[in-house]
Structure 1
Amino acid sequence: MKAWRIVSLLTASACLLAGALTSTATAAPPAGETASSCTANPQTPLRQFRASWVASVVNIDWPSKTGLTAEQQKTELIGWLDDAVRQRHNAVILQIRPTADAFWPSKVEPWSQYLTGTQGGDPGYDPLAFAVAEAHKRNLELHGWFNPYRLSMGTNLNALLPTHPARLHPEWVVTYGGKLYYNPGIPAARKLVEDAIMDAVANYDLDGVHFDDYFYPYPVAGQVFDDAATYAQYGAGFPTLAEWRRNNINLLIQELQQRIKAAKPWVKFGVSPFAVWRNKATDPQGSDTTAGVQTYDDLAADTRRWVREEWIDYIVPQVYWAGGFAPADYNKLVPWWAEQVRGTDVHLYIGQATYKVGTSAQSPDWSDPKELSDHLAFNTTVPEVKGDIFFSAKDVRADRLGATSLLNSTWYTRPALLPAMPSLVSRAPLPVHALRSDRTSTGVRLQWTPTSANTTSYAIYRRDVTAGDWCPDNDARNLLATQRGTTFVDTTAVDGHRYLYTVTALNRAAVQSIPIPTFS
């Protein structure tokens, strides 16, 4: 499109929208309504990341058991995606590499045993391709969740396929705590982990690469992670084993971030760590906690540095404790993490412990159906918090104590755009073209033509002109839906009401175009 035509289109669109809003604004507001009624409602934010973790390891969520047919697995996965849509989530975190294996035909590692019951067993379809297509059909982001170093939930190396990289390189393997791990201190093992992840990034339209909290394994009393010989071989320049281990994990994060951005700059890289970096008693920069595990010391994961250096795009601390729980208080940890992301381009989402609802684990507060909802209420007081992820999908679906229903009816009554990440893709899409509306027997039908190659999805807004709706889009009160198609039917339109509809285009980083209006 010629530059002068683009300028003319933008100018005309802006003038049309300004005129429409001015016309709307001059309509008499309902009795008693004032400008204060346009204040953004924290319960219906315009942008918010909302997701659940769908775990595959030991068949926690999906597939529900091994040996299901391809059609049964597909039906189950569609169920989880439809759950997300009903709950007005906008993303899914799907575990696709639980134990150095794959939920896709990987060039690096074998098929996961959690699909068929046998490692290397072909499930008869491509689960990752299916997941990406079905998620995007519903305008859900799909983040591939990878566990970097865990090899097996058991200790028998010979139970792995003979062609498994770990069988070919047993010197890379460490047995610890009843499981097998790749040794993070071996550069070739780290490269293999990165190659396995990049195979998925290169060949699938993933929206994100996601790690959880497992780097070096959690400490097991009386056991030693046996990497002394590796430290002797590769640890030159690092005065302590602990510093060398942290550098090994730093290298994984740095290198993977660089490789992801070189391949696909729009793919987000996020980590969901155990929420305590260090206790304040250990380090004055740490959180006001007394947790028994500190990621910096025990997992060799300097999560605070990854944020400060902007090696990741988002962080999701697993703040799996109740508000007021003394050793690790939700209401103290969330502000601590907000302070860490402040001034960076790293987004802060909070990991929520749905699995604890209806239990008295650690704290009787989890017997209160309002606990999770209270967490989201607290989050509204911390501007840096941009969303939440819930563990895990089956616990969200279980709705114990009605906690999920309460949370959704309080906080997720409206759809939400994903938080924008202009640091990944800064150029906004061109606005949509030829927007028109038609009254039909089923509602108001909107159609438009895309004009921008970097458009991923669309947002549809509606103002009720008849009711004198003149508030700006500073929350989701006017947001009807988000979608990837170019036709939308508003089935909630009321006969006799005049509406102003606007449609915007969004790119892979959720950066939004200027709105294009139409009346109906």
Structure 2
Amino acid sequence: MGWLGRSAGVLAAVPLMAACVSAPSGAVPNPAPNGVAGSALPMPPSTGADRSLEQIPEDCEAEAQYSKRQLRGAWIATVRNIDWPSKAGLSAEKQQQELVAQFDRAVELGLNAVFFHVRPTADAVYASDKEPWARYLTGEQGGDPGYDPLEFAVAEAHRRGLELHAWFNPYRVGWRDPDLENLADDHPARKHPDWLIEYADQGYFDPGNPDVRAWVGDVVLDVVDRYDIDGVHFDDYFYPYPEQGEEFDDDASWEEHGGEFDDRGDWRRDNVNRLVADIDERIDETKPWVRFGVSPFGIWRNEKSDPSGSDTRGLESYSAQYADTRTWIQEGWVDYVTPQLYWHRGFETADYEKLVPWWADEVAGTDVDLYIGQAAYRVGEADWKGDDALARQLDFNTGHPEVTGDVYFSMKDLGGRAATAMERLGRDHYRRPALPPRAEGAPAAPAPVTGLRAERSDSRIRLQWQAGDEARMFAVYRMAGEGEDLCALNDAANLVGVVGADGEGAQGYVDEAPLDGPARYYVTALDAYRTESAPAPVVTP
């Protein structure tokens, strides 16, 4: 991420099932998925409802108290062993234990997505015949960890109801010591030395070389093809962050490929634009439910440089990394954008209270979602003190409905320096679970769950149901009383759990603190597009 070594100083149609039960009172339940088989309940005749649950908002007048669609994520960085694994050379079993612990922590915090770093330095945290194993796994680039971390991560994330977005650095090859000095023999930079440009103490593939652009696209699509990921994610490293007194030596590719441009900056932006547009098109052609997004540096342009820029005075991603995020939004080349707004409210150079509205205006009226990159790693610094250090950032977001999620850097900080701040944030903003945003273009809603059963035992309500292979996760709703109020399913106030599909058919959820008196439970299935199934018969005990 652009934070590395930086801080503020860098700136100069299917049925839904329901069960009704009467149970003792209790607090808001833990939404973590858990299931136990219960006794079968009689199924009433079908009501004939055949609408997708996605259609209900058009039929309901009541305003939802809480939004039930919100991206809540955390970055899990593998580069330099920032988040995972804690150090290179751990056994496969220990690595897996650490990753599971981080996923469990994400669920405890009310998150629903992880952004897993699969390509830190033009290498792989997965089994690849294109690039060598990342050295952060074993201590040696090319060293086989004895299992496929991405395959393991996808399965464990989905089991917990978490999305997994595969996070790629498109061009970074690494630092001179030890990365460039210890490249594996089969690293593409050894096979194609003309691709590599050394800049300051780092190495980058040349974004101006069309062969590089094609290679990066092939690497990304190889992962899309072979793994059941939910998203592809790029961070802010396109062209490198500028270093004083250093020039990025792309003269050779500029002379060969920049002929139609008078300005090298425009040519560089076009190079990045071509990569982003190509990745977007290829994902849509391959797996359109896989969402593609980028987390750029938080300032596109300052209004001093461009009247349509933000009221800021910092480094501009437009002219520093040549990342023209605004064009990507306008062209629809990304499904979401996650600007890294790693500055506090009131910071004079780059005020969070000015940047959030600017980005909200940019996505307004488009199909591009806006999630804010949050600086969990800064909690405890001078302007980030107090248990509300993160909650007060989200307090401001609530006034901007275009903001539909937040992603935190980084995972280790959520259990470390930002642990207390995240607990406060959970009380203030994440009291209810949330479903992830939908992907566009779903051909149909998922198949219904069947055989919903309920059982009361030891002051708990146990639900179990059956589901088809297409189900990715399930939403569990609870409402007091009897009867049917399908409009209430719009409101996350009634959403008590998000359960990951385990692929075994039988699924379950335990409400550890059910309501006092009669209650109805509804279960819906969500597919890879995150499309939710429709209302259908009610099951009564």
TM-score normalised to the size of structure 2? 0.85
Task: Trace 1:33-44 onto structure 2 (pairs within 5 A).
Answer: 40-41=64-65, 44=66
Matched positions, count:
486
Partner of 2:254: 231
Tell me the distance in 2 between the aligned counterparts of 1:470 and 1:217.
Answer: 51
Which residue matches 2:70? 48
Shift of 1:10: 7.5
CA separation of 1:189 and 1:13: change in aligned 2, threshold 3 A:
same
CA change 1:483–1:401 in 2 (3 A) is closer
Paired letter, 1:237: E
Secondary structure, aligned partner of 1:477: helix
User: After alignment, is 453-462 or 166-175 more displaced?
Assistant: 453-462
Using the TM superposition, name which of 194-203 and 295-304 deviates more: 194-203
What residue in structure 1 maps to residue 540 of structure 2? Answer: 519
Q: Give the one of 259, 272, 288 matched to 1:249.
A: 272
Q: 1:118 aligns with which of 126, 131, 140?
A: 140
Q: CA deviation at 1:476?
A: 1.6
The CA deviation at 1:77 is 0.4
Maintained 8 Å contact 2:463/2:509: yes
SS class of match (1:12): coil
Q: Secondary structure at the match of 1:232?
A: helix
Q: Which secondary structure state, in structure 2, belongs to the residue aligned with residue 369 of structure 1?
A: coil
CA distances 1:335-372 after superposition (whole Å, capped 9, x unpaired): 11111111111111000001111012xxxx21233231
Say whether 1:472 aligns with 2:456. no
- Secondary structure in 2 aligned to 1:254? helix
1:9 positional shift:
8.8
Which runs of 5 or more structure 1 residues have no equivalent in the other structure?
Answer: 3-7, 18-35
Q: What is the alpha-carbon distance in structure 2 between the residues aligned to residue 157 and residue 59 of structure 1?
A: 17
Distance 1:183 1:447, change over 3 A: same
Q: Matches of 2:319 and 2:514 in 1, distance apart?
A: 60
Structure 1 residues 496, 475: CA separation in 2 closer, same or farther (over 3 Å shift)? closer
From 453, 468, 485, the equivalent of 1:436 is 453
Q: What is the aligned partner in structure 1 of residue 39 from structure 2? A: none
Amino acid at match of 1:388: D
Instruction: Tell me which residue corresponds to 1:26.
Output: none
Corresponding position: 1:272 with 2:295: yes
- Offset from partner CA, 1:72-119 (integer Å, 9 cap, x none): 100110111000110111110110100000011111100000000000
When residues 376 and 198 of structure 1 are mapped into structure 2, their CA distance, relative to the original with a 3 A threshold, is same
Name the structure 2 match of 1:185.
208
Distance of aligned partners of 1:368 and 1:497 in 2 relative to their CA distance in 1, 3 Å threshold: closer
* Secondary structure of 2:334's aligned partner: coil
Structure 1 residues 389, 185: CA separation in 2 closer, same or farther (over 3 Å shift)? same
Calculate the aligned-residue CA RMSD, in Å: 2.6
- Structure 1 residue 380 displacement after superposition: 0.9
Q: CA deviation at 1:442?
A: 6.2
Aligned-partner Cα distance in 1 for 2:252–2:260: 15
The letter for the 2-side match of 1:90 is N
Correspondence for 2:231: 208
* Cα deviation code 1:348-406 (max 9, x no counterpart): 1000001111012xxxx212332310111111110111110000111111144821211
After superposition, give the CA deviation of every residue in 1:45-94 in whole Å (9 maximum; x if it has no partner): 31211111010100001011111111110011011100011011111011
Alignment of 1:86 with 2:104, yes or no, is no
Partner-residue secondary structure (3-state), 2:392: helix
Paired residue secondary structure (2:384): helix
Name which of structure 1's ranges 93-102 and 196-205 shifts more when overlaid on structure 2.
196-205
Q: Deviations over 1:120-175 (max 9, x none)?
A: 00011111111111111111101111001000222674521222111111111101
**Could you tell me which amino acid in structure 2 is paired with residue 40 of structure 1?**
A
Contact kept, 8 Å, 2:377 with 2:417, in 1: the verdict is no
Which one-letter code corresponds to 2:481 in the other structure?
A: V
Per the alignment, residue 307 of structure 2 pairs with 284
Matching residue of 1:33: none
1:499 counterpart (501, 519, 539): 519
Give yes or no for the alignment of 1:220 onto 2:216: no
Query: Is residue 2:471 matched to residue 1:455?
Result: yes
Contact 1:304 1:340 in 2 (8 A): yes
Counterparts in 2 of 1:377 and 1:495: CA distance versus 1, 3 Å: closer
Measured at CA, do residues 493 and 115 of structure 1 come closer, stay the same or move farther in structure 2, by a change above 3 Å? closer
Structure 2 runs not aligned, ≥5 long: 1-12, 15-43, 54-60
Deviation for aligned residue 1:304: 0.7
How many Å separate the matches in 2 of 1:504 and 1:515? 8
Residue 418 of structure 1 corresponds to: 436
Contact 1:105 1:126 in 2 (8 A): yes
CA gap 1:469/1:504 in 2 versus in 1, 3 angstroms: closer
Per the alignment, do residues 435 and 13 of structure 1 end up closer, same or farther by CA in structure 2, a change over 3 Å counting?
A: farther
1:237 is displaced (CA, Å) by 0.8
Q: Deviation at 1:439?
A: 3.4
Q: Distance in 2 between matches of 1:114 and 1:495?
A: 48
For residue 312 of structure 2, what is the amino acid of its counterpart? T
Asked whether the equivalents of residues 358 and 366 of structure 1 are also in contact (C-alpha less than 8 Å), the reply is: yes
TM-score (norm 1): 0.88
Displacement of 1:499 in angstroms is: 1.4
Give deviations 1:232-287, integer Å, cap 9, x for gaps. Answer: 10112111111110011011101111111222111110100001000011001111
- Report the CA distance shift for 1:489/1:187 in structure 2 as closer, same or farther (over 3 A): closer
Compare 158-167 and 491-500 and name the one that shifted more: 491-500
Between the aligned partners of 1:430 and 1:227, the Cα distance in structure 2 is 53
CA distance in 1 between partners of 2:364 and 2:67 (Å): 20
- 2:337 is aligned, of 315, 340, 348, to 315
The residue type paired with residue 170 of structure 1 is P
1:1-33 Cα shifts (integer Å, max 9, x gaps): 99xxxxx99853479x9xxxxxxxxxxxxxxxx
Aligned mates of 1:9, 1:145 — CA distance in 2 = 47
Return the alpha-carbon distance in structure 2 between the equivalents of residues 395 and 499 of structure 1: 39
Q: 1:471 to 1:203 in 2, by over 3 A?
A: closer
2:341, 2:427 → 1: CA distance? 22
2:48 paired residue among 1, 8, 12? 12
Contact 1:457-1:505 at 8 Å conserved across structures: yes
Return the structure number with greater relative CO, CA threshold 8 A, min gap 6.
2
User: Would you say 1:306 and 2:328 are equivalent positions?
Assistant: yes
Identity of aligned residues (%): 48
Partner residue of 1:355 out of 361, 377, 380: 377
Aligned equivalents of 1:11, 1:146: Cα separation in 2:
47
Instruction: Report matched runs for 1:59-70 at 5 Å.
Output: 59-70=81-92
Q: 1:470 to 1:248 in 2, by over 3 A?
A: closer
Contact 1:358 1:369 (8 Å CA) reproduced: no
Equivalent position SS for 2:240: coil
CA distance in 2, matches of 1:328, 1:88: 29
What is the rounded CA distance, in whole Å, between the counterparts of 1:484 and 1:355 in structure 2?
A: 29
SS at match of 1:367: coil
Cα distance in structure 2, aligned partners of 1:10 and 1:218: 60
SS of residue paired to 1:498: strand
Does the 8 Å CA contact 2:482/2:520 hold for their aligned counterparts?
no
Cα distance in 1 for residues equivalent to 2:78 and 2:133: 13
Cα distance, 1:210–1:415 mapped onto 2, change above 3 Å: same
Q: Aligned residue for 1:366?
A: 384
Q: CA deviation at 1:443?
A: 3.1
Distance in 1, Cα, partners of 2:476 & 2:128: 38
